[in-house]
Amino acid sequence: MTDDTDTEVVVSLQEALRSELKDPMGTVYTEADALFAAADPPLIAVGDIVTYHLIEADHRPDVALIDGQTKRSAIEDHIQEAIDAGVFDREVDVENAAAGLSAGLLSALATAIDAASDGESTVIVVDGEEDLATLPAIAAAPSGASVVYGQPDEGMVLVECDEAIKTRVTDLFERMDGDDERLWDLLDG
């Protein structure tokens, strides 16, 4: 059962900022093995297709965020089955609106990243959209961690979580509509 405060949108992306998210925030890979070789733990995957490719290459992410869609269409059954095959230690369901970040998603992400430090993997199943989840994943990940997300028609983007990328994400959050102070409170757990 979801609490109304969990579905509340904490910050949302206005149209003027969308262009800043078009370019990859890291290196683009087309092979999961090459990406995994370059990644440092914990590995956080945002998106069904990225998660699927990592699992198929025997590189389960420590944290994965999925929404059952790719390019606004339902994912194929075999992709869903591969992700559902008991690969993760725990599953958390959250709601999240398009172009926004809900309190529930932010809290679940912070908890999942914390659990990853204890060796527990989590898949966060989003009812709605997980597209913006890359940003709080970068912000909440420990320095040196890896966040991977899909770049449509190009491949998988590997983001190394260093101070420069964290500063860029912080700047984006400060310019979004909503309550960025609450966002940080939720990500800090």
CB-based burial, 5-34: b 16+ in 10 Å, e otherwise: ebbbbbbbbeeeeeeeeeeebbeebeebee
Binding residues for GTP: 48-50, 67, 130, 153
pLDDT of residue 49: 93
pLDDT of residue 1: 43
Three-state SS for 117? coil
pLDDT of residue 186: 96
DSSP 8-state secondary structure symbol assigned to residue 76: P
Query: Is the separation of the CB atoms in 88 and 60 below 8 Å?
Result: yes
Three-state SS for 92? strand
Q: Per residue of the chain (189 residues), what is the pLDDT tens digit?
A: 445 567 899 999 998 899 889 899 999 999 999 999 999 999 999 999 999 999 999 999 999 999 988 776 788 888 888 888 789 999 999 999 999 999 999 999 999 999 999 999 999 999 999 989 999 999 999 999 999 999 988 999 999 999 999 999 999 999 999 999 999 999 986
Pairwise CA distance, residues 101 & 14, whole Å = 12
Collect all residues with Cβ–Cβ distance below 8 Å to 111 and sequence separation of at least 6.
Answer: 92, 122, 189
CA atoms within 13 Å, Cβ hemisphere of 67: 22
pLDDT of residue 189: 63
**DSSP-assigned beta bridge partners for residue 28:** 157
Collect all residues with Cβ–Cβ distance below 8 Å to 86 and sequence separation of at least 6.
Answer: none
Domain boundaries, the chain: 26-182
